[in-house]
Amino acid sequence: MSRQVVTRFAPSPTGMLHIGGVRTALFCWLFARKHGGRFILRLEDTDLSRSTDDNIRIIEEGMAWCGLDWDEGPVVGDPSQWKGPHGPYRQMQRMDLYRAKIQELLDKGLAYRCRCSRETMEGRRKTVEAAGKVFQYNRGVDAGKGCASAAHDASQPAAIRFRMPEGGDIVVADLIKGETRFPANSLDDWIIARTGDGPGEIGVPTYNFCVVVDDTDMQVTHVIRGDDHLNNTPKQIPLYEALGSDLPAFAHVPMILGADGAKLSKRHGATSITEYQAMGLLPSAVRLALARLSWTPKIDGRAVETAEEELLTDAQMIQLFDLEDCQKSAARFDMDKLQWLNQKLIQRSSWQELEPHLRPFMAEVSKGAWAAKPDAWKAQAIHATQKGKSLTDMAEALRFAFEGPTTFDEKAAEKFITPTVKPALREVRDLTDYSHDALEAGFNAILERHGLKTKDLAQALRVALCSKPVSPGIFDTLMLVGRDEVVARLDRWL
RNA sequence: GGUCCCAUCGUCUAGCGGUCAGGACACCGCCCUCUCACGGCGGGAACAGGGGUUCAAUUCCCCUUGGGACUACCA
């Protein structure tokens, strides 16, 4: 009986939730959901200068917006609370555990105190480099210079180093990258705890140590993380062994690059998840786009082929997700594809599904008037604009329903509101039945009477009602503006 | 410098020795059309280079080149 699958996402709360982080979290989430396991959110907040409660909230809200719910982790908005049996889930609150583990290693002789000062280290480093070698603490040219063999009592403040194996290879059996071997001699005894405040005291433990202790303590079975951590893994593996813990499975997912192939950064535009939210993208589209970077879903062993198959629902993604179908190489972020997915997902959503997402954008465009509109009206408004690429496009396309024209597209007005159509416009003004069918019938009758084409009257109406010759279908436009307002707006021209 | 990872159309990718190298997005053209869109149809577009192995390499091995990560008392 194998253990229940447990994955975790462990970001540092340093200011924003990066899109690359979201993708890693998404893979962890998909994997856990697929295997009926648990997904943990853990905050690596040992960088005191940058970790704030605000930054933690940004992560929690970003994750929540993306629909990446965690089974264990912090409780949103309350630093003293958490859910799950292995808390707390903020590293700064887990210091006692770390110190206990370090003491254990110290007692077993698997770690030792290091009192080498920055100055002596620098000196030794220079000697080694002058000899054309790579500086490795207490290894190679530096062998015997470190504290490992010295009498390391606790009479002075000291950092703690982990005793790494020498000789042979450390192999990482990675679920994505395959088997990778690192010569043990290319590594050295690394610091697991910074210099303590006083003699015998254990300082703040370092990242590579905390992850291992936490993953072990939280019973994480699958460590799915960015491949920038692949090189950290051979340092961590001997630590698992020293701690007497089973090794989790590792899966290092490739990075996400900007469109130019460089590491995704601010200059590529949006890197923070909140920016995607602000762009009017559906969280489901963001999830799909991110998942499809470096992952090719296979249906019965065959990669998805048609556009139809590309549009996976969450349920399908969860069912199909497999680390074996993940790419080893980094992928460039494709904004066009995201927007296409967004458009398709908008098209196939019901108005009820769309409305909550559209609401914040409409609140702004309608200056608060949206909320008060009846459902039937909202449904029509959404249907009329559901071809848009984004929620912001939809909101923008509906602006005419809330705001009468203040300025007009002069050229369009001149072109479409001609003396020959004005009499027809007058008759449109006089229409009273604003049901779709009645409008269509009345409209056609007017066209016939005046010998006009649909285009002539529709475009004239668009300019008169919306100030520009672009709007949803003409009957939708009339209905959404409403009879009273149509009359008012037309009167300016008649 | 050392260790490690990566490499098919512009982009995301399929391919796991023999394929006309397939698809999606983007792009271009045509059609549809009350505007903008949507939609439909069609088109151009790739195996980084060099050596091996093999009857046969996009596919396996090596080198080069080009990206990238780690190499901190950051995470």
Summary mean pLDDT of chain A: 94
Average pLDDT over residues A171-191: 95
Give, rounded to a whole angstrom, the gap between the first and last alpha carbons of chain A. 81
Q: CA(A331)–C1'(B8) in Å?
A: 14
Question: Is residue A48 pLDDT above 80, yes or no?
Answer: no
CB A202 within 8 Å of CB A193: yes
Query: Which of A146-155, A273-282, A366-375, A419-428 shows the lowest per-residue confidence on average (mean pLDDT)?
Result: A146-155
Q: CA(A328)–C1'(B12) in Å?
A: 13
Question: Is residue A151 pLDDT above 70, yes or no?
Answer: no
The protein residue nearest B36 (Cα–C1') is: A470
Average pLDDT over residues A252-274: 89
Question: Smallest CA–C1' separation from A456: which nucleotide?
Answer: B34
Q: CA(A478)–C1'(B42) in Å?
A: 38
Q: Which nucleotides of B are covered by protein (CB under 7 A)?
A: 1-8, 10-15, 22-26, 34-39, 67-75
Q: CA(A175)–C1'(B29) in Å?
A: 45
Average pLDDT over residues A171-188: 95
Average pLDDT over residues A250-275: 90
Average pLDDT over residues A33-49: 92
Question: Is residue A402 pLDDT above 80, yes or no?
Answer: yes
Question: Is residue A98 pLDDT above 60, yes or no?
Answer: yes
The protein residue nearest B15 (Cα–C1') is: A303
Question: Is residue A447 pLDDT above 50, yes or no?
Answer: yes
Question: Is residue A149 pLDDT above 80, yes or no?
Answer: no
Q: CA(A2)–C1'(B54) in Å?
A: 44
pLDDT digits (tens, 9 = 90+) for A407-438: 888 899 999 999 999 999 999 999 999 999 99
The protein residue nearest B25 (Cα–C1') is: A337
pLDDT digits (tens, 9 = 90+) for A29-38: 999 999 999 9
Q: Look at residue A1 in the predicted model and tell me its pLDDT.
A: 47
Question: Is residue A268 pLDDT above 90, yes or no?
Answer: no
Q: CA(A342)–C1'(B22) in Å?
A: 25
Q: CA(A228)–C1'(B63) in Å?
A: 26
pTM of the model: 0.95
* Three-state helix/strand/coil letters over chain A: CCCCCEEEECCCCCCCCEHHHHHHHHHHHHHHHHCCCEEEECECCCCCCCCCHHHHHHHHHHHHHCCCCCCEEEECCEEEEEECCCCCCEHHHHHHHHHHHHHHHHHCCCEEEECCCHHHHHHHHHHHHHCCCCCCCCCHHHCCCCCCCCCCCCCCCCEEEECCCCCCEEEEEECCCEEEEEEHHHCCCCEEEEECCCCCCEEEECHHHHHHHHHHHCCCCEEEEEHHHHHHHHHHHHHHHHCCCCCCEEEEECCEECCCCCECCHHHCCCEHHHHHHCCCCHHHHHHHHHCCCECCEECCEECCCHHHHCCCHHHHHHHCCHHHECCCCEECCHHHHHHHHHHHHHCCCHHHHHHHHHHHHHHHCCCCHHHCCHHHHHHHHHHHCCCCCHHHHHHHCHHHCCCCCCCCHHHHHHHCCCCCHHHHHHHHCCCCCCHHHHHHHHHHHHHHHCCCHHHHHHHHHHHHHCCCCCCCHHHHHHHHCHHHHHHHHHCCC
Q: Look at residue A432 in the predicted model and tell me its pLDDT.
A: 95
ipTM score assigned to the predicted complex: 0.95
Question: Smallest CA–C1' separation from A302: which nucleotide?
Answer: B14
Percent of chain A with pLDDT over 70: 99
pLDDT digits (tens, 9 = 90+) for A448-484: 999 999 999 999 999 999 999 999 999 999 999 999 9
